[in-house]
Amino acid sequence: MNSGIRQRLEQTVERFEELERLLAEPENASNARRYTELSREYAELQAIVDSWREMQALDERERQARAMLEEKDSELRAMAEEELAELEKARQRVDQRLRRLILPADPNDQRNLFLEIRAGTGGQEAALFAGDLFRMYSRYAEGRGWRVEVLSTHEGEAGGYRELIARVVGQGAYSRLKFESGTHRVQRVPATESQGRIHTSACTVAILPEVEEVDEIRIDPNELRIDTYRSSGAGGQHVNTTDSAIRITHLPSGIVVECQDERSQHKNKARALSLLSARLLEAERERARGEIASSRKLQVGSGDRSERIRTYNFPQGRITDHRIGLTLYDLDNILQGSLDELIEPLTEAHQADLLAEMGG
């Protein structure tokens, strides 16, 4: 552990002990809002401080074991060597835990998200692949107990989707799926291909954290054009008899959002405004990322939708994530929603990038 990380941990312990004192003061205990804020920060630091104290205890045990190595008694020396071997394993575990804990938290990690999938090159095959991707994410969400709400769809001529926008509601949804943004490429033989040739198609995926309050970003109502229209349900089901679907155009940026999921025009408008806020915030983040990218490029999580991030090769049952050079021969299971095989390595790579930036 380098001196920079050690110093950061020592500062965390100082703040933790200060919070203990502040929480014990009567004026803070009688101020509900202040007490809640202090308690939240205290709870956030607890795991870091506990792990750091555990590391310090291991350091002390190591000093004692090394002192035993100087003993003349061979049995004592053997015990010390055995102790040191066990301590080294324990130190590695605690060190890894500490490194993860001190990483700066993404403020969006616990939020719901908007999932946008658009068919790219490949025509009908790309639309079918968009349907496959949506099924994959839906099954992953279902396995985690999340709710998926389809906000709008434009279906492909032969099935699938030319465009689909959904809202995923669940604790930590954004933290798990935030690295899915980018271009997903598929290589397979289309059902209409008579000569068995492999075709390459692509879809773009965007993962946007939901804005908790529309007021988080100022939207001037005078800069909006709001249109209503009659939505059409899949396969003729749930067709609205009123013009309840909403399309909102943000005139300065040209961003267009729509929602046709709810029967209530009011609810559709609220959903569409929430999606518009998320899009506008994402546009700001992309500008900021562009400035950062001029000096350095993050390996994972750049969020660039034009970046080819993954290839799904059906003939070989292979899936490759190009950002981290990971190849798995488990395509069927992953398309059925077993995404953790990809998400965990991507998260670990991202954490390694952050640690490298911190000098870890």
pLDDT per residue over 4-38, tens digit each?
Answer: 777 888 889 999 999 999 999 999 989 998 999 89
Residue 106 lies in a domain: no
- Range ranked top by mean pLDDT from 36-45, 141-150, 215-224: 141-150
**Percentage of the chain modeled with pLDDT above 70:** 87
The 10s digit of each residue's pLDDT in 57-70 is 999 999 999 999 98
pLDDT at 360: 54
Count the domains in the chain. 2
Q: Based on the fold, state whether residues 91 and 123 are members of the same structural domain.
A: no
The 10s digit of each residue's pLDDT in 169-213 is 998 899 999 999 999 999 999 877 778 889 999 999 999 988 765
The 10s digit of each residue's pLDDT in 300-355 is 554 455 678 999 999 999 999 999 999 999 999 999 999 999 999 998 888 888 87
Residue 25 lies in a domain: yes
> Two tokens at 180?
């899915």
Banded pLDDT at 238 (limits 50, 70, 90): very low
Q: Based on the fold, state whether residues 76 and 180 are members of the same structural domain.
A: no
Q: Based on the fold, state whether residues 117 and 94 are members of the same structural domain.
A: no
Residue 359 lies in a domain: no
Q: Based on the fold, state whether residues 97 and 148 are members of the same structural domain.
A: no
Q: Based on the fold, state whether residues 236 and 332 are members of the same structural domain.
A: yes
pTM to 2 decimals? 0.66
User: What range does the domain containing 44 cover?
Assistant: 3-101
For residue 179, CA distances in Å to 183, 298, 356 come to: 11, 12, 19
Backbone torsions φ then ψ of 313, nearest 5 degrees: -105, 105
Residue 358 lies in a domain: no
Select the more confidently predicted residue: 76 or 237.
76
Residue 46 lies in a domain: yes
CATH code (residue 307) = 3.30.70.1660
> Two tokens at 106?
């993404």
> Two tokens at 10?
């020592």
Q: Based on the fold, state whether residues 8 and 49 are members of the same structural domain.
A: yes
Give me the residues paired with residue 33 across strands: none
- Residue ending a domain, choose from 54, 71, 101: 101
Q: Based on the fold, state whether residues 310 and 186 are members of the same structural domain.
A: yes
Q: Based on the fold, state whether residues 294 and 342 are members of the same structural domain.
A: yes
Residue 107 lies in a domain: no
